[in-house]
A and B are shown apart, each in its own frame.
Chain A
Amino acid sequence: MRKVFLVIVTTCLNFLCFSQNLNFYGFFPSYSQIGTINRRLDYNFFASVNNSAFAKTLAETYYPPKILQVYFQPSIIYKFSPNLDFAASITYNYQRINPDAPYVKEWRPWQQVVFSHTILTRARLSHRVRFEQRFQKNTLTEVQSFVLRLRYQIGYMMPLQGKTLDTNEFYLNAYNESYFTLSNPATNPRVAFYSENWTYIGIGYNTAKLGRIEIGPLYQTAYINPQHDRRNLCLLQLLWVTTFNPKKRINPKS
């Protein structure tokens, strides 16, 4: 038993000694609007910013507090059935992996399918698969690259005060998303096939007039080199979701 304990401790220490993980903490304010186009189509506009909010010195390198990502994502959603949606987008992303790295500009067309079903009477479990084509350009080196990526997200949403989420009620939202880099371009060699993972849990409130407001911690971890050192980002996400239905605006009495 003592030997096993020693092996575990030694392994952990070994891991800690050799890993050069970068840990940052910051904020992730984001806004999402969903609107109806017609019976079958909805649109979504999502915008967010995230940052490393605190200055840090890691392995003798100084990392100042900086904005890490600015993200704009308009998308079109095709509602196939109450439990199945398809969506596509051309997203703009301006991102750096850490406060010391140069920014990368990116245009990202993607296509996705979402399937959802109820579990435990009132909770909803959703499965999302997204296929991305990433056209990236390093702002420092001007090097361009094209990367293909697949993402799988499993999400759980549950009203906390009844069977359905009504106005002025709280809800629980959680998800885990795995990122798989499919291509390995010479200009931007892939560091891992399973390259990134995001985990989030939040509490939301469905207001009567202002939509949903949600807050919770988001943990992002990504491999940053072939040695599998990781960049870990602990963010406090504040999400505001509104809906827009033009028909209701035109005929407020109907």
Chain B
Amino acid sequence: MKKALLLFAFFFSFNAFSQSDKNIRNKNVPALVKQLIQKTYPNAHNINYYIEKQNDSTFYEAVFKYQKDNYTLLISSTGKLYKTEIIILYDQLPLPVKDTISKDLTTRFEKYIITKVEQVNPHHELNYELTIIGKMGHKEGYFEVYYNRQGSFISVEEETLKSIPSNSGF
């Protein structure tokens, strides 16, 4: 029985360190990572941390709510900020940017609804990621549309729909 438990624990621990996007306890997060968040976003609380591995580099992902917006930060173990994603409302976009994007969407889609707006790296190379339900030519479905700081179009990707996994398998 003990052997079986040890084997299970070994198997579980191996997997916990071999993959990306794993939960990590607050106490195991490097102090430099926590300091960066406290300094930049004072009073941010209920922070969930995840370990993410990209090309043999380890990052810490912090997910939290700050001043009514949802933040996701990607930080290195030395406390360097690599990426910031903030979910915002479409109306929170600067007016000229919003106008430019609206005009582009109207030319690109026959009809559309914006379901999510993400502001990526607001202090560096700012991008906007919009999730759209729309009709573009013969394609009707979900799209990710990317714009730069001025609201100029960068790219569009159609999202592949997956069926909802069945809990019972049938």
Contacts and interface: CB of A to CB of B under 8 A. Distances in A.
Interface of A: 30, 32, 34, 39-40, 42, 44, 46, 48, 71, 73, 77, 79, 81-83, 85, 114, 116, 121, 126, 128, 153, 155-157, 161-164, 166-170, 173-175, 177, 198, 200, 214, 239, 241
A173 B166 CA distance: 10
A173 B21 contact: no
Given A81-B133, A162-B22, A32 B169 contact: yes
A239 B167 CA distance: 10
Interface in B125-170: 133, 141-142, 159-170
B167 A153 contact: yes
Contact of A30 (B133, B142, B163, B169): B169
B169 A241 contact: yes
B23 interface: yes
Interface in B54-107: 61, 63
Nearest to A83: B164
Interface of B: 12, 15-16, 18-23, 48, 50, 61, 63, 133, 141-142, 159-170
Given A48-B170, A173-B167, A168 B15 contact: yes
B169 A174 contact: no
A68 B21 CA distance: 42
Contact of A166 (B20, B164, B167): B20
Given A46-B170, A121-B48, 17 more contacts: A42-B163, A44-B163, A44-B170, A46-B169, A48-B169, A81-B142, A81-B161, A121-B63, A126-B164, A155-B168, A161-B22, A163-B61, A166-B21, A174-B167, A175-B168, A198-B168, A200-B168
A99 to B, nearest CB: 23
Contacts of B19: 161-162, 166-169
Contacts of A164: 21
Contacts of B18: 168
Contacts of B169: 30, 32, 46, 48, 214, 239, 241
Given A39-B141, A46-B170, A79-B162, A162 B21 contact: yes
Nearest to A77: B163
A32 B161 contact: no
A85 B20 CA distance: 29
